[in-house]
Copies of this chain bind each other. A is one copy, B any other.
């Protein structure tokens, strides 16, 4: 951390000035990725402001994606964004691992579920159809980055839940069930984290996030998997290819 300046009167709000100062420290490498930012109380003292003002500054850092907070541990500098090509259905997991990304998968839960009114149309099954459901937490370089919940049609993938789900499911389904992904429909939106998601990602609730839903289809065009990923929005960007109509 570089030293403070008085900078009383430059027009912009005090908390903005603090944000700019912290940004500078990050840009100059004084504060590298994943290093701790000064605490709310430390910022208050360093810059001679009240704790609420220090808090506003640090919350602005979060809102701008420059920092993330771990509950009651402190705030840390965000790393560079991860790129994710959504047009190419080759599994994100397989792709990342072959690209050398340090990716860990933690199985959070698994079980049976029944298709409800929102899932049934996506998978083209009747409401009440038995599904398998599993939720996994993905860490990149040890940092929780996104949560994925997938739903597959139970009758089509017997014993899936007894297998090791800490790997690419694309690969798993290919090897054991001769089902491979051919196309998908994807929806991306911004929304706030729910309490349980925030807990898994180690973030404060209500934090803005990116939700990515995808329906995965086989070569006959039949949907066999519905997945919902919740990403720490400041950590990723999504690329796609577009082609004129059809």
The interface of chain A, by Cβ under 8 A from chain B, is 60, 63-65, 81, 86-90, 180-192, 206-210, 214, 233-234, 236-246
9 contacts between A and B (CB under 8 A): A63-B206, A86-B240, A89-B242, A183-B241, A185-B239, A187-B237, A188-B188, A188-B238, A208-B233
Bound state CA distance, A181 and B245, in angstroms?
10
Question: When the two chains form their complex, are residues A233 and B190 in contact, meaning their CB atoms are under 8 A apart?
Answer: yes
**Distance of A13 Cα from B189 Cα, bound (Å):** 27
Given known A63-B206, A64-B206, contact A243–B192 (CB-CB < 8 A):
no
Q: Are A245 and B88 in contact (CB under 8 A)?
A: yes
A192 to B63 Cα, complex, angstroms = 7
In the complex the two chains form, is A88's CB within 8 Å of B242's CB? yes
Contacts of A181 in B (CB 8 A): 244
Task: Report, nearest first, the 9 A-B pairs whose CB atoms are least far apart.
Answer: A190-B233, A189-B237, A64-B192, A184-B242, A208-B208, A89-B244, A186-B240, A188-B238, A89-B242
Docked pose: A187 CA to B210 CA in angstroms:
14
Q: Which chain B residues lie closer than 8 Å to A244 at the CB level?
A: 88-90, 180-183
